[in-house]
Amino acid sequence: MPLARINRRLRDFFVNRVLGVHDTPHRIALGVAVGIFVTWMPVIGFQMILIVAFSILLRANKVVGVPFAWITNPATLWIYIPNYFLGCWLLGSAYEPGKLMHGLMCAFGPSERDLWGRLDGILETLRAVAVPLFLGSAIVGAVLGAITYFLVRRAVIQYRRFRHEDVMTGYSLERKDAPASDAEPAPTDARV
């Protein structure tokens, strides 16, 4: 797929599925931020469920965050390696990719181990990797989620100002829970 087509599809997705959603700027931005946070966590297979659950708990838009789990799936490995490195650095433990690879090979590689031996390999890998990976992922996800919240909230407000959707949808741009005024705007020209 040509790069221009990918860029156009991503732009159309963001404009139509994020900025154009009929909800408050706060709820839309919070939904995207929740989606970004969860996609950085090592919870493959549960990302969409967690995005919806956290969105319900935080009263965020449940729809806008879910597609970010699909977008980031191809980059999962490249997301987790730096997160693991950050977690190791914060915990003061050594970054040992050899330990990770050994555990993965014991668990999934060709081996004469039986089922219990393979499960032992999985547990060894989890002990070596889980805490630093979750810590690094949580920190990076929280920082990116916070940045995303402010950027998306501002983008929604600007998009609505540009499209004048704030009056049509009944949502105020200033307060997240106050509907826009139904009153006619005052004439700007003194000549009537």
- Taking Cα atoms as reference points, which of 40, 42, 93 lies closest to residue 71? 40
pLDDT number for residue 13? 72
| Neighbour tally for 150: CB within 10 Å | 11
pLDDT number for residue 163? 74
In the chain, which residues have pLDDT < 50? 165-166, 173-175, 178, 180-192
Contact 121, 113 (CB under 8 A): yes
Phi, psi of 171 (to 5 degrees): -100, 135
- How many angstroms separate the CA atoms of 27 and 25, rounded? 6
pLDDT number for residue 79? 82
SS3 1: coil
Structure confidence by residue, pLDDT tens digits, 51-103: 999 999 999 999 888 888 887 777 777 788 889 899 999 999 887 777 666 66
- How many angstroms separate the CA atoms of 32 and 153, rounded? 10
- Taking Cα atoms as reference points, which of 155, 159, 154, 172 lies closest to residue 24? 172
pLDDT number for residue 61? 92
